[in-house]
Amino acid sequence: MVNVVPVLKRCEVFVGLDDGDVQKIANLSSWQRNTYKPGDYVFRQDATANYFYVLEEGEISLLVTVQADSPDSTKDVPVDTVTTGDIFGWSSLVAPHSLTMSALCIKPSTVLIVSGIELVGLLDCNPAIGYEVMKGLVRVIGARFRDLRRRFANEGKAKNSQR
């Protein structure tokens, strides 16, 4: 069994939970530890979100694929950087369970992975835990959107100053 408790205790999504609740999450049978090399994709945008991820060590870039300058081409735009203790793949916890970004390994990384279905099952059966986890999830998603909005605002200012 993979010991995930120390990492979960540092994780923003689980910060509101007591030790017993963290242990319930840690006891889920589907936990696994995977390693990735720079350039490896952990997952790709628009794929089915089956797993919830916690970065134990390393660095992962979250990318959104958007249309490029020509109609037939796309480009990946960095949205956020995941560092130790951060979560990603949260789409596995909410419908329609489709990944909204790609996750690309930047530095050698160790990632803890759990089945989204199994985690949601635990959250459904333990509403107090589910409520705390969802509050944490909203904090993470909100921070990512604020960062993205700032990045686009700064890019817009840079483009306007070049004119």
pLDDT for residue 159: 67
Residue 156, token pair as written in the block: 């817009």
Tell me the average pLDDT across 70-99: 93
Average of per-residue pLDDT across 114-127: 98
Q: In the prediction, which pLDDT does 146 show?
A: 87
What's the token pair of residue 157? 């200012």
Is the pLDDT at 162 greater than 80? The verdict is: no
pLDDT at 152 over 80: no
Which of 46-55, 68-77, 153-162 is predicted least confidently?
A: 153-162
Instruction: Please check the confidence at residue 108 and state whether its pLDDT lies above 80.
Output: yes
Confidence at residue 147, expressed as pLDDT on a 0 to 100 scale: 82
DSSP code at position 94: S
pLDDT over 70 at 163, yes or no: no
Q: Where are the alpha helices (DSSP H) in the chain?
A: 5-10, 19-26, 116-125, 127-162
Q: What's residue 67's pLDDT?
A: 84
Tell me phi and psi for residue 152, to 5 degrees: -65, -40
Distance separating alpha carbons of residues 125 and 130, to the nearest angstrom: 8
What does the pLDDT look like over 8-19, one tens digit per residue? 999 999 999 999
Pick the CATH number of 5-154 from 2.60.120.10, 2.60.120.430, 3.10.50.40, 1.10.10.10: 2.60.120.10
Question: What gap in Å lies between CA 3 and CA 26, rounded to an integer?
Answer: 7
Cβ count near 26 (within 10 Å): 21
Q: Residue 123, by phi and psi: left (phi above 0), alpha (psi -120 to 50) or beta?
A: alpha
Mean pLDDT across the chain, nearest whole number? 93
Residue 98's pLDDT is what?
A: 97
Q: What is the pLDDT of residues 30-54, one digit of tens each?
A: 999 999 999 999 999 999 999 999 9
156 pLDDT tier (thresholds 50, 70, 90): low
pLDDT tops 70 at residue 77: yes
Radius of gyration of the chain (CA): 17
Residue 151's pLDDT is 76
CA dist., res. 10 & res. 20, Å (int): 15
